Each structure stands twice: as structure tokens, then as C-alpha cells.
Amino acid sequence: DTEVTQTPKHLVMGMTNKKSLKCEQHMGHRAMYWYKQKAKKPPELMFVYSYEKLSINESVPSRFSPECPNSSLLNLHLHALQPEDSALYLCASSQDISRISNTGELFFGEGSRLTVL
Amino acid sequence: GESVGLHLPTLSVQEGDNSIINCAYSNSASDYFIWYKQESGKGPQFIIDIRSNMDKRQGQRVTVLLNKTVKHLSLQIAATQPGDSAVYFCAENGAAGNKLTFGGGTRVLVKP
């Protein structure tokens, strides 16, 4: 199984809503990532978890709250978002975080497309 | 600062011809580079990677070339097919090595 599964595929929410994006992988990877991708732009790193601990936060606003309940799951909790937060949110995983050159590539899910009204 | 960029935003190619996509990077400490393909509505899909101790790596119909002297990376696709139509991103692992930074992307359009 070499898949990263993300749910939901599409999400529409108002600025006062609270919602969550979910990501799951069963490859035994110990590093998991959240990327944000705006239309016609490259993915931008948001968070990195290593062995279920937050390792990198790329100065993401607190209205985005990541959570890693176990080694297979990664959540992104959303609260009080702005319309400019509308984007494709991509989850990825890799064997570990020590050095990507040693662990090989990142495996990406198909993303959750978020629209904030 | 760190940056990974591409020279051509859109590449139109005739079916059956070869495609070349270029990428410039600025972080000389990067030692791992990946090309990803992203089709409409999907996540990035790994195509091929190369480590800094290599100049060239070949896969099935794809070749990646790395020129560390000028910090340049290219992806060559042989006999381009309609299914190759997508946006292609290069990515590098940066000084710390533990996260990928993506370039701006090149859209490849294959004409029948």
C-alpha cells in the first residue's frame, strides 16, 4: 500500500466554522507533512511532523492547527479561516525527516480542496 | 534566500517529440532533487529523483540532468504522449535537508 489518503476531497466552510482535514498513510512512514497550494502555484510547506511530534511550523497562522494522533494519521483543524485561505491542502509522508535525500521522496495525497466563503 | 525556479511557465510540444523542462536552484547546499508531475485535480506524483553526487539519471522515458556548477536541473521526456500533459515541478531539499522546496512549475501541453 503506497497511498496517502485525504478526506474530504472538497470542503466549503464559512469564516466562523470549525472543520478538520484528515490524512492517513499505512506505509510505516514516520514523517508527515501539510502543504498548501494555491491555483497555478507550487505547494508551500506548512507543517512537518516527525515521530508524531511537530518538527517544523513554517510560521503558519494559528487558525490552522495540526494534530498527529498516531503515526498513521495527520489532521489539520481549521477555525476562523479567511477567504484567502481557500486552496488545495496536500498531505504527504516520507520514511522519516532526518534528511530527505536519505529517505527518498515524499508521497502525496490527492489533496483536500478548501473553499472559504 | 533559498529559491527554486523555472525558466518556462508553459511548454507546448507535439506528440512524439521530446520535451525539456528546466529548473534553476539557488541553494548550493541542496543535495537531493525531485521532479514531480501534477495532473489537474490530483496531488504531485513522483517522477524521478537525483542526488548531488550524480549528473544524470534515467528512468522510463525520462532523464534528469543536474549541473551543480550553474545550479541547473532539467527533465527530459522522450516521445511525449498526451498523458504527459500536466504541470511539472522541481523540488530541492535545502540546507537542512529535511523539507522540500518547490519551484514555480511548468505546464506541458501535448498537441496531437
- Quick check: A33 and B43 CB within 8 A? no
Q: What is the pLDDT of residues B47-103, one digit of tens each?
A: 999 999 999 999 999 999 999 999 999 999 999 999 999 999 999 988 777 788 998
Q: Say yes or no: B57 contacts chain A, CB-CB below 8 A.
A: no
Q: Say yes or no: B89 contacts chain A, CB-CB below 8 A.
A: yes
Does residue A16 carry a pLDDT above 80? Answer: yes
Q: Say yes or no: B92 contacts chain A, CB-CB below 8 A.
A: no
Mean pLDDT confidence for A61-87: 96
Which residue do the cell numbers 534566500 mark?
B1
d(CA B3, CA B10): 19
Mean pLDDT confidence for A18-43: 94
Q: What is the band of B2 on the pLDDT scale with cuts at 50, 70, 90?
A: very low
**Chain A CB contacts of B45 below 8 Å:** 108
The CA angle A83-A54-B104, to the nearest 5 degrees, is: 50
CB B94, CB B101: distance < 8 Å? yes
Of B34, B43, B105, the CB nearest to A90: B43
- Quick check: A110 and B103 CB within 8 A? no
Strand order in the sheet with B62-67: B4-5, B19-25, B72-77, B62-67, B56-58
Does residue B1 carry a pLDDT above 50? Answer: no
pLDDT at B39: 93
d(CA A88, CA A79): 16
pLDDT at A1: 54
